[in-house]
Structure 1
């Protein structure tokens, strides 16, 4: 195999799973450890990936870099829809449901609007706005206070105090990154504290994270991988990474991107609402 072919294969795997490991590439490509490391070095110099210990991740993965809501709302929309559809089965009428900020939880919130008799507690400005557009007497939305972040989350001591005053049946959380060693992470220190308060207030903790989040590290760990009662990801995640997560979380749900139809309500992510382009915020 030519060097150009190897590097194309490496980039294909990186785009598919969000991260690659040297040991796995050695086995798949049938070349030496040194050859793989040279290929990664070349691709890193070209700005096509970012080298990390033992492998590489997609570029731009700095631990404190926090893209805004609008910037992330156009990424992996099919995957988010598949994950949101799979998450619906965990919600029943009468539940108090926590929703963190983020574009995946925002997608999930659009599906939740069709469920009767639920109470939603969120620190997401975008999620609260979504429910306010179609108010219903059998649904209650509680928005916490605090300082607004680029991800349109309300964080800080006011948000934490409000969250600690409630008891939630289930918490759905989007994350910036997930790693078997570093856990679920965020680039925002204050958001990590608020997210931890959500977990403590909940009976059940569910993480919604598409395959591109694997191997991505934020500066602050929200929780260990083992803390998740359920982790819902998509079928784009490599099987070896699925197994690594399956060994650690309570339940791993892998949503089929091709088969997702938003519980029969939407045939694709384009059928869902789109946030205003003027709104910046991950």
Structure 2
């Protein structure tokens, strides 16, 4: 296959699914990791894809477009894992927490699935299934019900009605985008309303989002940035974005593999 043909194939795969992972492209096209990375870099230079850690993201998504759970799962995996494990250190046995839908929050659920006597309120089908299958003693999962979205969230009036009766110590919220002006956003109007209801259940709101979410603005605002208590992100967040978070009065943890292994300082920051 010629380089131009290979790049056209990569572009087609990215546009079809919204994203593509380098390792998957290596397997599908039978070329080296370095070749795929060069192809993605060339496509990014031409403005056809967005190059991200570990893969490529489709360009030109409208603010109302919502990538599926599988497409988003392929992106920023190391960062999501570090964020999840750092945030998991905030969870004590016996706590009641909320977990919103999303791929980063799914990794967080994986990190806390063995915490005993934990009560989890969630509108995420994958999160509920993961925790149900863990079999951890005393763990209770409350799944809201509602209409299922492409991101495997349960949303709508049924979910909102269920959440109005519930109260949790801390909500771990995943978002489509973060912006100093627009706040936390999602491309789904109904999901925004459901996430607002999740926020209302919680005494503290902890946002789990990697640095690529900064500057992305979805159709609907969930809450302003100033309504967040703690942001757990990764060191890729730019200095300007960090300053905007600080100016909004939000505490911040920059999660790495190292910080994920040091639980006590994170609890003190929270």
TM over 0.5: yes
2:182, 2:165 → 1: CA distance? 29
Query: What does residue 59 of structure 2 align with?
Result: 59
Q: Deviations over 1:83-140 (max 9, x none)?
A: 1111022211221110000000000000111211110010000001101222233100
Quick one: distance in 2 between partners of 1:262 and 1:147? 37
* Structure 1 equivalent of residue 145 of structure 2: 145
1:181 alignment counterpart: 181
Aligned mates of 2:81, 2:259 — CA distance in 1: 7
Kindly report structure 1 stretches of 4+ aligned residues shifted beyond 4 Å.
260-264
Asked if structure 2 preserves the Cα contact closer than 8 Å seen for 1:62 and 1:217, the reply is no
The 1-side partners of 2:249 and 2:61 are apart by 24
Q: RMSD of aligned C-alpha atoms? A: 2.1
Distance 2:239 2:255 in 1: 13
Give the structure 2 partner of residue 154 of structure 1.
154
What are the Cα deviations for residues 57-98 of structure 1, in whole angstroms up to 9, with x where unaligned?
A: 983342011000011111101000111111022211221110
Distance, in Å, in 2 between the alignment partners of 1:60 and 1:130 is 33
Q: Is the 8 A contact 1:84 1:262 kept in 2?
A: no
**CA–CA distance in 1 between the matches of 2:62 and 2:238?**
23
Contact 2:146–2:157 (8 Å) recurs in 1: yes
How far is the alpha carbon of 1:261 from its aligned partner?
A: 5.9
Contact map agreement 1:81 1:262 (CA 8 A) in 2: no
- Aligned twin of 1:237: 237
CA contact (8 A) 1:125 1:153 kept: yes
1:243 positional shift: 1.6
Q: Once the two structures are superposed, what CA deviation does each residue of 1:136-194 show, in whole Å capped at 9, x if it has no partner?
A: 33100010111000000000000000011111110000000000000000000000000
**Structure 1 position 263, deviation (Å):** 7.7
Q: Which residue of 2 aligns with 1:81?
A: 81
Matches within 5 A, 1:1-282: 46-48=47-49, 59-256=59-256, 258-259=257-258
In structure 2, relative to structure 1, the CA distance for the partners of 1:124 and 1:263 (3 Å cut) is farther
Per residue, is there more helix in 1 or in 2?
Answer: 2
Structure 1 counterpart SS, 2:168:
coil
Query: Relative to structure 1, is the Cα distance of residues 75 and 172 closer, same or farther in structure 2, using a 3 angstrom cutoff?
Result: same
* Residue aligned with 2:140, SS: strand
List alignment gaps of at least 5 residues for structure 1: 1-42, 50-56, 265-282
What TM-score results when the alignment is normalised by the length of structure 2?
0.75
Aligned residues: 214
Q: Which runs of 5+ in 2 are unaligned?
A: 1-43, 51-56, 264-270
State how far apart, in whole Å, the 1-side matches of 2:185 and 2:160 are: 18
Q: Note the C-alpha offset of 1:47.
A: 3.3
Indicate conservation of the 8 Å contact 1:82/1:262, yes or no.
Answer: no
